[in-house]
Structures are given as structure tokens and as C-alpha cells.
Chain A
Amino acid sequence: MPNSKPKKKKTTVAADVDIVPKGTSDNWAYTGTVKDHFFNPRNLVIDVSKMKGYDGLGMVGSPACGDMMKIWVKVDKKTDKIKEMKWQTFGCGSAIAATSMLSVMVTEKGGMKIDKALSVKPQDITKRLGDLPTRKIHCSVLGDKALRSAVNNYFIKSGQKDRVVKEQVRIIDREAKVTDHDIEEAVLEGAHTLEAVQKKTKVGVGNPEVIPEVEQLIRFYTEKYFG
């Protein structure tokens, strides 16, 4: 944030300037909370054959992209609250810890209302984990998507089709078949420049007129996840 107002307490110049931008350090060291959830994951499914009687099942990601998540939920129909959330994850330390934390967040204190659970953002999870290294943020993103997919599955199974949350996707480059979602993924995977995003998606390579829009999206997503 630029210094528009003079600060109450006069500090040194160096202290006023954010010399090390928050969260950009290449620190691999995880916080204690992350480690705890990684080594002692909560609500983890150990035996899939015992997973019966759940109201919703969701799965997102693929092992090819390095992260894949499966989430089971039980819902209290009367209160519309999530009573149980179980999961399995193929992913790195942050992905495992983030899913574990998400399962705690939506089930603690008697369970979270579905509408509220649907609005849990990756940032909310990382905040509870006590921050992740910047380039690990993308690992925590799948959790909320997997939960949305499990809840959607519950909506369909329980005859509440009107409540299904659609993931909006917009095509940006018809030739390269790239959507805004693809660009979001690329940014999350660490591509923060047009060149880097093009390397991953080929967006605008044969279609240069879409580049201004792509650049705008890159700025938007970079701000959203890393700003």
C-alpha cells in the first residue's frame, strides 16, 4: 500500500518501505501448523471400502498436474450444515495440509452452513495454516474446488438442482482453446508474465488480438492470489 497518510508513529525510512514483499520469500520451511496437518492429517480416508452412506462425493484435479483430491461429505439436511468431510489427496505437503485444514474448518463448531462453506476461498485456508510459501499457494486451491464439487453432488442427489454452483468458464482464445480458467491455472502454477503463460497455454500465439485481454487476466489473477 502506498503511504498516502502519514503514520502516527514516526519510524525509520527503511521500516516504512516494505523491502521484502510479504509472501514472496522463497522459504520452503512450513509453519508448525502445516507440518502438524501434514504429519497428522485430520479426517483422512484410510480405507475407501468403508466410505458408505455419504451425501456427496467430489473429485478434482488429475495426477498429471500433480494434485488430485477426492472429498466425501455428510450433510445435516435440517440445518443445512456440513457434518462430516473426509478426503484423500495425491499431492505435496501443502496440498495435504490444506485439505486437512479445510476439513477442520467446515466441520468444526457443529459444522459450517453449506452456503458459507461454498464461499471458502484458498486464502482463508492458507490464513488458517499460517501462510504458505508463495509458490505453494496453488497447492491449496484444489481443496475448495473439490468441496464445491462434493456439495454439488449432494445438491443433485438430494433434488436441489437449482442450488448447483456452476464453475463459469469463458473462452479467451478459440484457436488455442484456452479459457480464463486455463489462464488462472497457469498463473497459479507460477506463470506471471504473458510469455510464461503462453509457454504453458499457447494463448494468443496464433491469435495476437486476444493478448491485451490475456494480459489483463494475468494481472487480475496475479493480484488475486499473490497480491
Chain B
Amino acid sequence: MPKNIYLDYASTTPVDPQVLKSMQPYWTENFGNPSSLYRLGRISAQAIQDARQKAAKALNCQPEEIIFTGSGTSSINLALKGLIASKEKIHLITSAIEHHAVLDTAEYLHKQGHEVSILPVDAEGLVRLDDLQKTITDKTELVSIMMANNEIGTLQPIRAIGTWLEKINKERVKKNLPKIYFHTDACQAAGALDLDVKKLHVDMLTINGSKIYGPKGTGLLYSKRGTHLSSLIHGGGQEKNLLSGTENVPGIVGLAAALELAAKNSVKESARLSKLRDWLIKEILEKISKTRLNGHISQRLPNNINIAFLDIEGEAMLLHLDEVGIQASTGSACTSATLEPSHVIRALGCPYEVAHGSMRFSLGKHTTKKDLEYLVSKLPNIVDKLRHASPVKIDMKEVEKSVKNAPREITNL
């Protein structure tokens, strides 16, 4: 049988059998519309209510503070646009390494007349608190920083930012200045990190079901009581009138089951994956010359490995890996819709050519040491082959120099 080693869990995860089982009754049997008053409707409504409670427990919040959405992206859109829709010319702050769901929404809001500041990150992908502090203005009403990065796995100091914002919000109230709301995109963090919103001090938090062994087409937004959001989708008034449309009952049930499972397993699984991650990083950096770890060595998701292989192009590498049964992901422009190389790796200060040659291996619950040993047995040959065919010879020192001298300026749209 040909090998099939999936190392792209950050892209999406398989549905857990227990999650699938929890969803089973809500397709053909209990198919009622939750808005209907009769028995079948009530069963569906109850299922959603239970799911909301489970989700609230996982996030340590009230069930009313959970809004079920259709994806991480739709949660983010609801958070950002929903908060700002009724406001005029406000200032929002985000970071250069956010997912496109945040960056493109911020750009859209800028076109609507709002001011947007984009914070740089340091050489390891961390947002610096002092950059945030000096970017706040009297008009700032929203900060959106991701909890963990999808490409390089860097963990942001969400708790520190949240606590600090809470403190200055108290001062702002006295000065009659608007409150600054804090949203975090926790799509990648869920399943690995503690999602207790009280500890994190966030007003809004986004989760995507399909990254935590839940079904695709599901997501949720935690929105702290008192956070006024405007509706983006008008209609029957579902989900507190914010996202009208008949609820995806099996999806919601599955998402809640996935969150519950994640909360139960995350500590043990994170410890297992961190070990594998550190082993793989060490092996690759040792066995293959001209390689560079993108992101932070320890402030990093337990399942994320992102490495630049200089002088070669990521897509070519991806095709070779696929041929030997390994599925991973690249920061190469050739695999992105925009044909631009990864904005995240560029934000680290790496030159374009490093972004083109970066590969992400993301581990998950089916990943074993054996899988990674197989990867390590195949990688050097593939890299060697592509380097022989490549006319490019990049100097490692030049890359380090470029990273060191990167401007790291705050961008105002």
C-alpha cells in the first residue's frame, strides 16, 4: 500500500469518530427546524442549547455569549464588521501576521473609512506590546491579534495584551474615551491552548470547528456580554439575530463535541506533540544544510514545524513529498491564490526567496514518531535533487542580515 502521511493538520483535521457519532442523530432522524415549536423542533433546539452549554464550559463563559457561525472566517467577519458597522471612522489595530480573514476584513473596513494600523512582529513572529501601546489613539476601538499563528505557530501574548487593554480601558472611561474591544483569532490555538476567556481577558474569540477534529463549515464566536455587534446576515433572527439562517444542527452538535474532546485531551496531547515537534526540528536542521526555523523555538504551537529550505522552491518540494506519500504545506507563492509568497514569513523580515522555499509540517493526533522518521528519511534526497537543479545560491548570512535589519514599522492603511 502506498504511504499516506498527513502532516497538514493546521490546514484541516479529520472528524473525530466520537464527534461524528454525536452528529449522527441530527441528519435523518432528528432533522427538525430548531425554530419549530413541535416535538422535532424542540429536539433540535435542545441539541443547540446543549451544544452552547458545552462550548461555554470549554471557554469558561456564559452560553449566551456563544454565537455559532459557519467558519472561522465568518466568526472573524462578524467580530470585526459587526462591532464596527454602527460606528463612524474608528481606529482598529491588528498585526502583520494575521490570517487573511482578519487582514482582508481590516482592509475592507479601511475602504469604508476606518483607520487601520498593522503592527509588525519581531524576528520570531511575536507582536511587541510596546508597539501596540504606542499605536493606540483616542479613536481606537478594536484590537485583533491572533492567539497562535497558522503558518509559523508563534503564540502571541494574548493574556498580557488583554490585561493591559482592560487596565487602560478603565482610564479611558474616566476620560470619556471609547472602550477598546479585544478580539483574538484562536482557530489554531484551540485544541492546544487554554481557551478560558476570563484568563485571556478578551472580548471576542474565534474558533473554527474543522481545525479541532470537528466538522467543516462550523465555527463560533465568543462575544462577551455588553459587546454590541450588528447583524451581517438578515432574516429569521437566529443566533441572537446576528447570523440569520436555519442553524446547522449536526454541525453545531459536532463542534461542541469537538471542543469538549479538545478540552479533555489537550494537555496530554500537547505534551506528546511538543516532543515530536522538537525532535523533527532538530533532525531537519541537523541533517539538512541551509535550513532555517521560521518562528519561535518554544513560544510555538506544539504541532507546528515551519522550516525554510534555501535555494529551492516550496511547490516543487511539495510535489516530490506528495509523490512519496507525504502531505504538507508551503509558503510558496505558487500555491497561494494571490501568487504572493507568505506574508507571515515576509513579516519575520525574511527575503522573498526564503518565503518561497518554506515548508510547514503540522502534526496531529494520528502522527507518530515513525511517520516523522519516514519524512526525515526522504527529505534530504528531495532537497538535494532540487538544489542540484537550482541556479540559486542564497547566502545564509544574507538571510540573517535581512531578518536583523528588517524595518519592522507600524503600517497605517
Binding site for B on A (CB under 8 A): 28, 38-39, 41, 44-47, 59, 63-70, 88-96, 135-136, 138-139, 189-190
**Is A92 within 8 A of B334, CB to CB?**
yes
B392:A93 contact, CB within 8 angstroms: no
Q: Which residues of chain A come closer than 8 Å to B323, judged between CB atoms?
A: 39
Instruction: Give a binary string over B69-82; 1 marks a CB under 8 Å from any A CB, 0 the rest.
Output: 00000000000000
Q: A96 to B352, Cβ gap below 8 A?
A: no
For residue B40, CB closer than 8 A to chain A, the reply is no
Whether A88 and B352, one on each chain, are in contact in the complex, defined by CB atoms closer than 8 angstroms, is no
Within 370-413 of B, Cβ neighbours of A (below 8 Å) are at: 388-392, 394
Q: What separation, in Å, do the CA atoms of A138 and B339 have in the docked complex?
A: 10
Which B residues lie within 8 Å of A59 (CB)? 391
CB contacts (< 8 Å) of B320 on chain A: these are 39
Bound together, the chains give a CA A60 to CA B254 distance in angstroms of: 52
Write out the residue numbers on chain A whose beta carbons fall within 8 Å of the beta carbon of B351. Answer: 64
Q: List 19 A-B contacts (CB under 8 A).
A: A28-B335, A59-B391, A63-B352, A63-B356, A64-B351, A66-B313, A66-B334, A68-B390, A69-B391, A70-B391, A88-B389, A88-B391, A89-B391, A90-B311, A91-B313, A92-B315, A92-B316, A95-B313, A189-B339
Q: Which residues of A contact B392 (CB under 8 A)?
A: 63, 68, 90
Q: How far is the CA of A125 from the CA of B116 in the complex (A)?
A: 45
- Top 8 nearest A-B pairs (CB, nearest first) are A92-B315, A92-B334, A63-B353, A70-B391, A64-B352, A88-B391, A90-B392, A90-B390
Partner of A66 from B311, B319, B338, B341 at Cβ < 8 Å: B341
Say whether B184 faces chain A, with CB atoms less than 8 Å apart: no
Kindly identify which residue among A44, A64, A136 contacts B353, using a CB–CB cutoff of 8 Å: A64
- Number of residue pairs spanning A and B whose beta carbons lie under 8 angstroms apart: 74
- Asked if B84 is an interface residue, CB under 8 A from chain A, the answer is no
Q: Chain A residues with Cβ under 8 A from B356's Cβ?
A: 63, 66
B389-A89 in contact (CB<8A) = yes
Contact between chains at A68 and B389 (CB < 8 Å):
no
Residues from 311 to 337 in B contacting A, C-beta threshold 8 Å = 311-316, 319-320, 323, 332-335, 337
- Chain B, Cβ-Cβ closest to A64: B352
Closest residue of A by beta carbon distance from B354: A63
Residues of chain B with a CB closer than 8 A to A96's CB: 316, 389
Query: Please, which residue of chain B has its CB at the minimum distance from the CB of A39?
Result: B323
Q: Which residue of B lies closest to A69 (CB)?
A: B391
> Closest approach, in angstroms, between the C-beta of A189 and any C-beta of chain B?
5
Within 8 A of A (CB), among B236-254: none
Contact status A90-B313, CB under 8 Å: yes
Chain A's nearest CB lies how many Å from the CB of B11? 14
Known contacts being A63-B353, A64-B352, is A136 close to B334, with CB within 8 Å? yes
Cβ contact within 8 Å between A139 and B334:
yes
B381 CB to closest chain A CB (Å) equals: 13
Report A-chain residues with C-beta under 8 Å of the C-beta of B333: 66
Docked complex Cα distance between A89 and B314 (Å): 13
Which residues of B lie under 8 Å from residue A189 when comparing CB positions? 339
Q: Counting chain B CB atoms within 10 Å of each CB, which of A69, A90, A94 scores highest?
A: A90
Asked if residues B390 and A88 are in contact (CB atoms below 8 Å), the reply is yes
Is A68 a contact partner of B316 (Cβ separation < 8 A)?
Answer: no
Provide the residues of chain A in CB contact with B353, threshold 8 Å.
Answer: 63-64
Residue in A70, A90, A135, A139 whose CB lies within 8 Å of B312: A90
Which one of A46, A93, A138 lies within 8 Å of B388 (CB-CB)? A46
A96 CA to B332 CA, complexed, in Å: 15
Contact (Cβ within 8 A) B339 A92: no
> Considering the chains assembled together, what is the distance between the CA atoms of A59 and B252 in angstroms?
55
Option from B314, B337, B341, B391 in Cβ contact (under 8 Å) with A68: B391
Q: With contacts A39-B323, A88-B391 known, is A93 near B332, CB below 8 A?
A: no
What residues of chain B lie closer than 8 Å to A47, measured between beta carbons? Answer: 388
Once A66-B352, A92-B332 are accepted as A-B contacts, the answer to whether A41 and B389 lie under 8 Å apart by CB is yes
Interface string of B297-321 (1 = CB under 8 A from A): 0000000000000011111100110
